[in-house]
Amino acid sequence: MRVREALDTVLDRAIVPGYTSVGYRLRRFGWSEADPAPNALSGRTALVTGANRGIGKAIATGLAGLGATVLLTVRDRDRGARARDEIVAALPDADVRVEVCDMSDLAGVRAFAADLAGRLPRLDVIVHNAGLLPATRTETGDGHEITLATHVLGPVLMTELLLPVLAESTDPRVIFMSSGGMYTQALPVDDPEYRDGRYRGAVAYARTKRMQVALTPILAERWAAQHASVYAMHPGWSDTPGVADALPLFRTVTGPLLRSPEEGADTAVWLAATTPAPPTGRFYHDRRPRPEHYLPTTGDSDRERQTLWQYCAEAIGLHYVRAWPSR
């Protein structure tokens, strides 16, 4: 066990072997084939955003394979329908439904959540996977930088509005799909909307993924009354359409080593289905909690996290409540 944990830590610190398919395959030898158990999600309902391709589709397929009713939540209904048909072709008994919501549109998120909450007696799992890496700075109709809206504001708002149906679950879980790229970025407390300096899409992406990780323990505390377990995770480096579109040079260089979408999806599926629920409020990779910082320049304080939370809460119209005293 100690040798296995030591190897896992070395892989994590080495980055390239740990984040690629090499690390996944080495770590997988230490996992039980019965975890998650077959039909672990039978009778449960899971919502997955950004689920029409790549890791999101692989997560949806994995959850459906464990017996969940899966709500493929996408921006384009036709693409969602094609993804559903492909999942059902592979899993004929799967119950997969298409829902439409643009996570960057806060008014749309509110309308979607109100409608869904009126139709669902219970929701057990939310996987916030929707993401984008824009070439230029773009603001939504609400006036927010689009990666902040898509990765942080929309997901938090949706979860807040769906808390009543999550509370009906005996074991609700909320999972944020972050990125290993967040390790390169400090928490942008003074400029969450990325208005200052030269805009770079990859940096905007990594900054908002850092925000997801920083807010996870705060949200775990906030949603504890609904007994929700809240996680952030990163999938490693996976070969997905999003990577091909946004980072073609990276894909060319690392292509042979990239994980499959299914390998990238594994930890999200595990977090949704394993029992008992893993410790809440943590950041995971390959089924294990990971440090949130490796670089001394990216550390943040409780006060900075609370400042970011206050900004986000006010941006989506929530009453700000401090989750714990600042230091």
Catalytic residue positions, numbered: 205
Phi, psi torsion values for 141, nearest 5 degrees: -60, -20
Residue 169 CB burial class (10 angstroms; 0-12, 13-18, ≥19):
middle
State the helix-helix crossing angle for 54-65 and 261-273, rounded to 10 degrees.
Answer: 50
Contact 103, 149 (CB under 8 A): yes
Alpha helices by DSSP H, the chain: 2-14, 16-19, 21-28, 54-65, 77-90, 106-119, 146-148, 154-161, 163-166, 201-222, 241-246, 248-254, 261-273, 302-315
**Cβ–Cβ < 8 Å for 71, 47:** yes
In Å, how far are 113, 119, 205, 290 from 209, measured between CA atoms? 23, 31, 6, 15
* Amino acid in position 307: T
Q: How far are the Cα atoms of 32, 84, 190 from residue 132, in angstroms, in the given order?
A: 33, 21, 22
